Amino acid sequence: MLTTPRHPRYDILFEPVQIGPVTTKNRFYQVPHCNGMGHGKPQSLAAMRGVKAEGGWGVVCTEEIEISPFSEIAPHFEGRLWDDSDIPALRLMTDACHAHGALAGAELFFNGYATPNRYSREIPMAPSHTPVKATDPIQARSMDKNDIANVRRWHRAASLRARDAGFDIVYVYAGHDLGLPMHFLSRRSNRRTDEYGGSLENRVRFLRELIEDTKDAVGDRCAVAVRLAVDQLLGPLGITSENEGRDAIAMLAELPDLWDVNIADWSNDSQTARFSQEGYQEQYIAHVKSLTTKPVVGVGRYTSPDAMVSAIKRGVMDLIGAARPSIADPFLPRKIFEGRFDDIRECIGCNICVTGDNQCVPIRCTQNPTMGEEWRKGWHPERIAPAQSKDTVLVVGAGPTGLELTRALGQRGYEVALVDAGTRVGGRLINDAALPGLATWMRVADHRMLQIQKMANVNLYLDSCLTADEVLEFGFNRVFIATGACWRKDGLGRQHRAAIDGISQVDVQPKVFSPDQVFAGAALTSPVLVYDDDHYYMAGAMAERLCQQGLEVHLVTPSVKVSEFTDMTMEQLRIQAGLLKMGVRIRTSTAIASVSNGPDGLRVELSNTYTDARTSLRCACLLLVTMRDPVDSVFAALQARHDEWHAAGVKSVQCAGDAFAPGTVAAAVYAGHKAAREMDTDVDMQGAVGFRREMVGL
């Protein structure tokens, strides 16, 4: 077993770091991140964190942990330490981390006005009277001195419970515009006139008291960390890293054992790759180490080992913090240690992981289909059951589903032939990655091709468009059809359950386009109307691309906002703001009623989705982003010839990914992985649950 990294340049990443009374074995620090499991699925949570510890992370932290029903965040599943009965569930996680030599960190929180307390129905509290951050018609009340004393008491009690649950690091949370200490710290939310308001020294007081309380309670055994957003990205309206963010750290510099620094709010801290590059937070946090002798951890979606080394050597941070990169590849530290750089699954920065927490379901990942399935399905990111037969496998389609299916079956040891009609692998990823800001999405294909190229049992055939006859002639035992999907151009979608009136007219159709046609090189002319009934990234990114080409663009959507689903990925505001700044003319809550052609172009009749009030818009071209149809003709043809399978040696034909049901790239990768895991198993496809459930009280 190696005791030093294979490449000496990375030695610094594997140096131990003293954090108060504890020591982490290396500089890889999985910062707290939500996951949709929390107190509701503690065994799933423990298994997921344990896999990260196994993968080499020196510190593995929880998500937010509620310290009191006076600040709970239902329906979201975060951790809980309301009383001693919550200790055993969290002990599962600390045991899982300690089993692999990792320290376990607990992020205790009291969220003030950031939570409406939907479950407990307790009145939220804040430094000053203010509406809650959610849209609930509820206000948080201004805290009196007794309230402040109570929160300090609850936090101290939770710190002791965290210690008893086996945690090595206990957090005081003042980040993301969520933690109550941040609400006291920011003049934007603190209008008090007593010793907890006014001057920065007064506004820092509550944070100071919580740090002192926590150190007094558990500081002999546990390190005390402070997570602080040093910049709210609000300019003079909020805390900035140049002024009060810097001064607050200077006032408290030596008090905690570790500084975990970032920017607020969460949508800024976890920006997608569409709007930020690796290391994007350095400009805000680089000064922190000059203010304290205590170790500093920061984040920035680091996936490059060289960027990590650089951040440490330049004095930006002592520990490489990661949430999303640790989700995409729980074994990232071990792979760096062993010099297996080509095996790293680099985070693509799509924030599909965030959608799990936002939708109150277990976390998922585009790059890592095993994320969230460690306990309930027994999936491991690096291990998979060996082949159970000598069956040969033909995979038709080298998009995200076909690539992952081939990679996983190849890892199992099956002989696999991957065939694609194109001249390069990637399928839909080739086009998606060509959109503004989405280049990192090609990592999904690149990673899988790197793995496939190492496998002697896998052959790749490009520029080969197979028919049903040719599939049968191949003579392989198992056939998977992963031929993707194509965009419709008749308007059928969520809003329109039938084709748009007039869309099929002979003189209209040449001026109506789908995204596939644009990717294929169709020349659009101004003005262009982009119709978004898909509500994810495609329409907004297409509008941006057309603007960059100098076209006048109108974007119309039945939704109340552009790219509505991207609320879940925390990028909607940036998308709509960016389009407005580029000059895109946006109409929301608007559907297309009909289309007709005239001497001055297309006449598009628009209808308000609430009142049906009609307006019209003239355009040269109409780009419809509505829904996709599976490309499943080969699958259908093979199904119709089932009687010929046996003679051809075919045992099964399965349709997977977008060819079965179009969805996200993450869903496509998951479909490929699931199909590979389930081949030659006894999985019941007739309605069995297919995974373990955590039963409350059992």
Q: List, by residue number, the catalytic residues.
A: 34, 173, 176, 269
Q: Please name every residue paired with 654 in a beta bridge, in sequence order, or none if there are none.
A: 480
CA count, 13 A, side-chain hemisphere, 303: 23
Quickly list DSSP for 459-515: EEE-S----HHHHHHH--SEEEE---EEE-SS--SSS-SSPPBTTT-TTTGGGEE-H
The torsion angles phi and psi of 374, rounded to 5 degrees, stand at: -60, -45
Please, are residues 369 and 449 in contact by the beta-carbon 8 Å criterion? no
The torsion angles phi and psi of 254, rounded to 5 degrees, stand at: -100, 5
Distances from the Cα of 161 to the Cαs of 65, 225, 485, in angstroms?
A: 11, 16, 51
Place of tokens 């810097």: 246
**Dihedral sign from CA coordinates of 458, 460, 465, 469:** negative
Q: What is the DSSP letter of 521?
A: T
Q: How far is CA 32 from the centre of its chain?
A: 14
Instruction: Return the structure tokens found at 442.
Output: 């090609």
CA gap 68, 120 in Å, rounded: 10
Element (H, E) at 333: helix 332-337
CA gap 523, 525 in Å, rounded: 7
Please, are residues 96 and 102 in contact by the beta-carbon 8 Å criterion? no
CA gap 351, 666 in Å, rounded: 10
Burial class (CB in 10 A: 0-12, 13-18, 19+), 55: buried
Please, are residues 416 and 410 in contact by the beta-carbon 8 Å criterion? yes
Distances from the Cα of 82 to the Cαs of 10, 57, 77, 486, in angstroms?
A: 42, 28, 14, 50
Which three-class secondary structure state does DSSP give residue 574? helix
Distances from the Cα of 78 to the Cαs of 253, 272, 693, in angstroms?
A: 29, 23, 18
CA gap 525, 125 in Å, rounded: 55
